Amino acid sequence: MVSTATGTLIACSIIIALSLTALRKSIWQFVNMIQIIAYIRFFVEWSANAAFAFECMDSSVTGSIQTDFLWAAYDLVVDGLGFKLDEEKYESKWIKYLVGDPNLLRSLGVYPIIILLVLIAMIYCSILALGRNSNLSIRKQYIKVKRQLYWNSVLRLYLEIDLKLTHQALAVAWFLGASNVLRFSLSAALSIVLIIGPFLVLRFLIKEKDNLQDREVKATYSTLYDSIKTESGIESVYSFVFLARRLAFVLTVVCVYRYDFFKVMLFLWLEGFYMIYVGWYGPHVESQFNLTEKINESFMLLVGYIMFLNTDYLGNQMIRYYLGWCAIFIGIALYVLNFLVLLGTFLVELHHAYRMYTIRRKFILAYGRKEMISENYFKSSRDTGPRARHSLSSRASSRDDFSPSKKRRSSKLSRKSSLV
């Protein structure tokens, strides 16, 4: 009974693990869409209901509600010890809203914990690198960690945290300036790296275009083109287009923060260009992801036109309040749509994994039953295979040749032949 339950648990774990592995693309598309919806709160000054809804969507992705509680407890401890925290002075409430918390660790939610885990993986990889030439098992472990936990984790984290991290670094360096030299230097250096990052990705994808499907390259850098068509150069640079659009969003919000109308125009241009790229080239291997992206960007264009009415073009606060509800409805619709796509993909992959498991299990049982039957037959019949059967028949024939009845029969035949 216990062994059956254990086997069932292991089988379910294998099936779910295989399904989640195949879900990486769906999960990432879901998270990416929620990040973009949450980020549009920085383009215009939304009504209170829409701003709160977009902040909740951002918290659902970054986990900032849980981390804010921990940071609040930390502040209470610091204040209790007598250390007063310096408060920043901002030119306007809008700049304060754009910057948020100038502390980089606080503003990123749960991402610092993920960064810490990646750093631990890097340290572990460095330790394995010291003994990789002395032991074969250590070398295999080093290669596995370097490919799966090192590069793929770093690249996946970069793609996921890019929008939030770029906005925070640029906003702190742009608006707070050199009021704090250490913080400004860190934010400015990080901003430069994040601005150059998409172009480094583009250079890699163009340089390694013919080698993207090689086993070594794919095992290390496949995160940059996972489930992306690599036959054409335009389709294979999807990650660059993805990162460049996010960078353009941040530069628009930070650099032209005084001109809401112009920010909305730039948002619509960027969304239009991205939709043309996805619709014309279809960079995703699975057609469902191309279709989902087209639907998402169509709704985002609609939100962009709603943003026009949240600028100084419209001064009626009641109408802006109802427009905020329209934007909330569109955001929730996109949230539900992407979640249903994620759930549908999960169920399909779960069914596929279960079918593969049952086929494999039937094959193992059939093969094992055949071996068991053969083994019992050999034990009961003193037969151990074709060679043994041949040797047994040869022994039987030799015994028959030297039997007494055989000898008498042969002697009678010899006498008859002599008389004739």
- What local confidence, expressed as pLDDT, does residue 406 receive? 46
Helix (H, G, I), strand (E, B) or coil at 213: coil
Question: 48-62 and 317-381 helices cross at what angle (nearest 10)?
Answer: 20
Give the CA distances from residue 234 to residues 4, 228, 271, in Å, rounded to whole numbers and listed in that order. 52, 11, 18
pTM: 0.74
Low-confidence ranges of the chain (pLDDT < 70): 1-26, 79-91, 146-150, 178, 353, 357, 361, 363-420
Domain segments of the chain: what residues? 88-255
Q: How many other C-beta atoms lie within 10 A of the C-beta of residue 12? A: 12
- What local confidence, expressed as pLDDT, does residue 89 receive? 64
Provide the mean pLDDT of the chain.
Answer: 76
- What local confidence, expressed as pLDDT, does residue 329 receive? 92
The Cα–Cα gap between 46 and 375 comes to 77
Cβ-based burial of 9 (10 A; exposed 0-12, middle 13-18, buried ≥19): exposed
- What local confidence, expressed as pLDDT, does residue 417 receive? 45
- What local confidence, expressed as pLDDT, does residue 266 receive? 92
- What local confidence, expressed as pLDDT, does residue 18 receive? 43
Condensed to tens digits (0 to 9), the pLDDT of residues 275-308 reads 999 988 888 888 888 888 888 899 999 998 998 8
The Cα–Cα gap between 102 and 173 comes to 10
The Cα–Cα gap between 337 and 36 comes to 15
The Cα–Cα gap between 358 and 11 comes to 10
